[in-house]
Each structure stands twice: as C-alpha cells, then as structure tokens.
Amino acid sequence: MVVGDFAIDLETVVIGAGPGGYVAAIHAAELGQKVTVIEREYVGGVCLNVGCIPSKALINAGHRLQEARDASAFGISKTDATIDFAKTQDWKQHQVVERLTGGVRMLFKKHKIDLIEGDAFLKDDHSLRVIKSDSAQTYTFKNLIIATGSRPVEIKGFKFEQRVVDSTGGLNLPEVPKELVVIGGGYIGSELAGAYANLGAHVTILEGTPSILPNFDQDMVKLVLDSFKKRGVTVITKAMAQSATNFDDHVEIKYEVNGQTETIKADYVMVTVGRRPNTNDMGLEQAGVTVGERGLLPVDNQGRTNKPNIYAIGDIVAGAALAHKASYEGKVAAEAISGKPAAVDYRAMPAVCYTDPELASTGLTLKEAKAAGYDAKSDKFPFMANGRAISLNATEGFVKLISNKADGTLLGAQIAGSGASDLISELTLAVEGGMNITDIALTIHPHPTLSEAIMDAADVAEGFPTNI
C-alpha cells in the first residue's frame, strides 16, 4: 500500500549514513543547518557495519589467539588456546558494531537530525522521492549531499551465493574455514587473508597482477609476504580466476596461471577485487547531474557537482575509497553549503593496511615525488634499532621519510611495522603543515616509544644517524 505523495520541504538532505554522510550531516547541523538523512540499509554505512570496524575486530581476535598460542619468546608457554568463533562473531556484532552504530543514531538525536529510512530517487535537482516497502513520499530540498558509497564488484563466474562470498559475507562466516581462497590481494583481501590465517585457516590468495598490495612500495610488501609465508598463506600472482562451482560442503575454484588451468578446493571463496560506486538507479540523470567514468561524479574542490546545490563525497567521487577521506569531504561540503571558504586538500591523505605488519603511507612516495619534479630522497630507520620495538618483540619494519633535497621539506612517509596505523598521523600532520626534516628531528619524542623511530629517521635524513 502506498500512501501520501505531497511534497515536504527540507533544507539540507544527505543521502547515505556512512562515514561520509553521517559526518557531513552532523557538521552541517553544527553549522546551523536543518538536516535530514536518508538511509536505505545501514546507519553507519558499510564501514561501521560490514567493513572497516568489524574487519578490525576479527583481525584483533586473530592477533589475540596467536599471542595466546605463542608467547615463548617471553618465557610464557601456553599452546592449548582455542577459539569459540560463534562467540567471537557475537562480540564483533553486539559489542563493537552495534555500539558504534547506536552511537551514530544518538548523535543524530543530539543534533536534531531527522532520519528517514528508505530508497531515495531524484526527480529533479530540487526534489526526490523516498520509497519504503509500504509507502512513498516526495520531498523538496534546498541542498543535497550524496554519500551513497560503494558495493563489492561481482566478477564473471563467481556469483555471490552459498560458498562464494564478498567481503561482507567473509566477515560473517559461521565458522573458521579450514581452507579459504581469497581472490584479490588488495587492502581488503590481504587484511582478511591475514585475519583468517591467524584464526587457523589455511588461506590461498589469487592475485591477477604481479604483486599483492600494488599501492605500497615493494620493500613494504615484502614484509607482508614474509609474514604470510610464516603463517602458511599461499600467494599466487598473475593468476586469473575463471569460475567457482558450489557443492554441499565445499567450492571448487578454477584459475589460470602460466597458461595452465588449475583447480583448488576450499570451504569458501571470498572475492575482493574492488568496489563499484553506488550511483546507478537513483535518478541522477533526471536531476541533470553529470555522471563520469566508472559511475563516479565529477565535483569541484568543495564537492559540488555540475548542479550548484548538489554535492557528492566519498567513494562516488575520484580518489581512494577511504572512510576518512569521505568524512573529510563531508565536512568540506557542509561548510561550503554554509558559505564558508572550505576546500579539499589531498596533499597528505593517509592510507593504512592492517596486515602483519601494518602498512601506512601518507603524502608522496619517492617515485611520485620524482614524477612531480622534486629532487627527492628517501631515508629509513629500522624498528630493529628501536628500544620499544625490541621490548615488544616486534622488530620487523621501518619508518621511511621522503624529503626534498633542496630545503628538507617532508613530502611523504611510509611506515611498515607495529603501530604504523597510529604513527602515520604525526607524519600526516607534518606533510600537511609543510614541516621539514629538521622540525621532526628537533621534536622531542618520549622514550621508549615506537614514535622515536620517526625522530631517528629524521636524524638519518639530516646525516646524523645517532641510533644506528
């Protein structure tokens, strides 16, 4: 039954309640706008519900299990640790995911943001229709922020069903598989491959390119490959997945490598070959919004589309599909609507991969810096020379600084090792602030900490490698 279809006037509307949408909505409300959020599935988006947050919960569970099973380096012997995976999944859902998504709903109430649950379809550049299972309603709006995110790519021969899953299904497996095949060795595939390996699965990664994690320097990737080898993860590169056949108790995957067709059996196969922007079937053409290549929406430096009152942020615009990028763009768009001179600046956009060890990068790599015309150099400090890393028995990895030879300006940085996901923020601020190597070298870092490796790397860059 469909009831009601008169137009209701709204001020600022945000479609999508993920990390881009809910941050945009809250900041717009903080700036005095009357905000309405439309969400069809997950308050908190993919990230909080079936992406960033639950994946890190499983990664952490895997680390805890491995630590319990092997602490012999510290003189601790306990080899009988087991896992109740159903309890792990319950903790992940009820203590982690629901706590955070509930927090978003509370913030909406705090800021008097209206939430409408349903599918939004644009009628023109100032009105839209929200469809629910039993009703439909038309709304007019003054300004609109589209933050609809992205969805997993489904490849030919691997229809998502039963034992063929995307990353969402991979996070919600009913048991730890004995055999797991992961197609795609990017961020998501490598993270979840490592998580399930730590939880006890034998994992095989099929990657179509010559290397996993192609967005990171090879000296960083090598550390992950070495860790995978120690945990029995099989990595097959230049492998083209062909098909998956479901059986009652397993799935058979065919792939081609070196001109030969191979078959591998597994309990599950998880496909993580990329994501596609959610911009189709929502009426963008009717609203006159330009849709670019691969379904991405072209925007200016404030997130504005070709329609001056319609903005787009996150995975549906150009750039890396990162939750923190979407949040940042959401703030900029909210400020632009309020008439503030905000604009995006991607000089230092951090990226993190939660593998073993963790990988993190910000600013330019050495290759990118040279391509941009800088006379740049790279300087490293190894964690094996850091007192805190030694005490943690986590000496794999390094801090690498990319600087301009002419004036020592920090252009970028990469960290591989324990705590990289947290340490990269200091260097992101340094790149964003235009700091130079001397600024970092003269910043007093507490001892003993992993962060000292950043100061020591700056010492190396200045030609005074005090601690190596």
Last residue of a domain, one of 251, 273, 295: 273
Work out the pLDDT band at 4, boundaries 50, 70, 90: low
Reported as a single tens digit per residue, the pLDDT across 135-185 is 999 999 999 999 999 999 999 999 999 899 999 999 999 999 999 999 999
Position 2 scores a pLDDT of: 44
Residue 411 counted as domain residue: yes
The reply to whether 146 and 292 lie within a common domain is: yes
List the beta bridge partners of residue 180: 203, 268
The mean pLDDT value of the chain amounts to 96
How large is the average pLDDT for residues 438-459?
A: 98
The reply to whether 257 and 299 lie within a common domain is: no
Residue 468 counted as domain residue: no
The reply to whether 146 and 281 lie within a common domain is: yes
Residue 286 counted as domain residue: yes
Range with the poorest average pLDDT among 78-82, 202-206, 416-420, 461-465: 78-82
Residues catalogued as catalytic: 447
Q: Is the pLDDT of residue 3 over 50?
A: no
Share of the chain above pLDDT 70, in %: 99
How large is the average pLDDT for residues 98-102?
A: 96
How large is the average pLDDT for residues 190-212?
A: 97
Residue 184 counted as domain residue: yes
CA-CA distances (angstroms) from residue 118 to 16, 43, 135, 148, 168? 10, 11, 10, 13, 21
How large is the average pLDDT for residues 217-238?
A: 97
Position 80 scores a pLDDT of: 79
Domain at 284, CATH number: 3.50.50.60
The reply to whether 142 and 284 lie within a common domain is: yes
The reply to whether 223 and 317 lie within a common domain is: no
pTM given for the model: 0.95
Residue 124 counted as domain residue: yes
Q: Residue for token digits 């988006």? A: 45
Position 74 scores a pLDDT of: 87
Residue 232 counted as domain residue: yes
Position 5 scores a pLDDT of: 63
Q: How many domains in the chain?
A: 3
Residue 135 counted as domain residue: yes
Could you tell me the residue range of the domain that residue 82 belongs to? 7-151+276-337
Residue 90, amino acid: D
The reply to whether 291 and 393 lie within a common domain is: no
Residue 346 counted as domain residue: no
The reply to whether 319 and 249 lie within a common domain is: no
Domain at 391, CATH number: 3.30.390.30
The reply to whether 28 and 137 lie within a common domain is: yes
